[in-house]
Amino acid sequence: MQIKARTRIAIIGAGPTGVELAVALTQANIPFLLFDAGQIGQTIAWWPKHTRFFSTSERIAMPGLPLMVFDQQHPTNDDYLAYLRGVVQQFGIQEHAYEPVIEVKHLSDGDFVLITEKKGIRQHYQADFVVLATGGMAEPRMLNIPGEDLPHVSHYLNDPHDYFQQELLVVGGRNSAVEYALRCWRAGAKVTLSYHKPELLKTSIKPALLQDIETSHEHVPKILAAIQQRLAGSSEVIR
């Protein structure tokens, strides 16, 4: 086994937490390597363009690195990705982008070996410590029902434009599902919102979104207490 590089700390995940840790380690002169299966802030880049954070800029900015937004409103994902890129450039952080860590081995001496793969080539890195900064959005929440792997079924929020004049079923009943259903309806989609409980959890939805979905009930019909049994070529089966 040939070790390509040795480091003090290996960070897996180049989202907000991974980048902030990389900044802190840079300031403390502690060697590290930063890996991501995609690009910096990849899960945020998956959001539809111009999606706004629920949090204000000062709440998602890193300490001592203010995030300025031109309209003083809640920042969009585009704003935040530009912010992350600027932080990475400012501190000279070198990211191993598009180099997923496929295995981590714990050696008998306490060190770790990380095995990565990029463009079909595997590499080995050794580190004293490993930090998992993959976050909670790296993988979608699956329904685990037949038909979920059909080509017209998506587990990510595509651009609302994709569904113009198309019938769209959004499964979920909290902030993301409600906001996405509303955005797609306003982009010209024929949207239905499906949720497995008898009513939307009002305590789990931002007040502005809750008011919006309640006043738009004629345009965005809801199927409540719905349990999806399977997804078919042009429909779903609910009980």
235 pLDDT band, cuts 50/70/90, is: low
Q: Is the pLDDT of residue 237 over 60?
A: no
The DSSP-derived string for 46-80 is TSPTTPBPSS-HHHHSBTTB----TTSSPPBHHHH
Q: Is the pLDDT of residue 239 over 50?
A: no
Cα–Cα distance between 1 and 122 in angstroms, integer?
11
Kindly list the structural domains of the chain, giving each domain's residue range(s) and its CATH number in brackets, ordered by start: 5-132 (3.50.50.60), 160-238 (3.50.50.60)
What digits encode the pLDDT tens for the residues 143-172?
888 888 888 899 888 899 999 999 999 999
Cα–Cα distance between 171 and 177 in angstroms, integer?
7
pLDDT of residue 14: 97
What digits encode the pLDDT tens for the residues 14-52?
999 999 999 999 999 999 999 999 999 999 998 888 899
Q: Is the pLDDT of residue 60 over 70?
A: yes
pLDDT of residue 238: 46
The pTM is what? 0.81
Buried b (16+ CB within 10 A) or exposed e, 22-44: bbebeeeeeebbbbbbbebbbbb
Q: Are 216 and 185 in contact (CB under 8 A)?
A: yes
Beta bridge partners of residue 129, listed in sequence order? 9
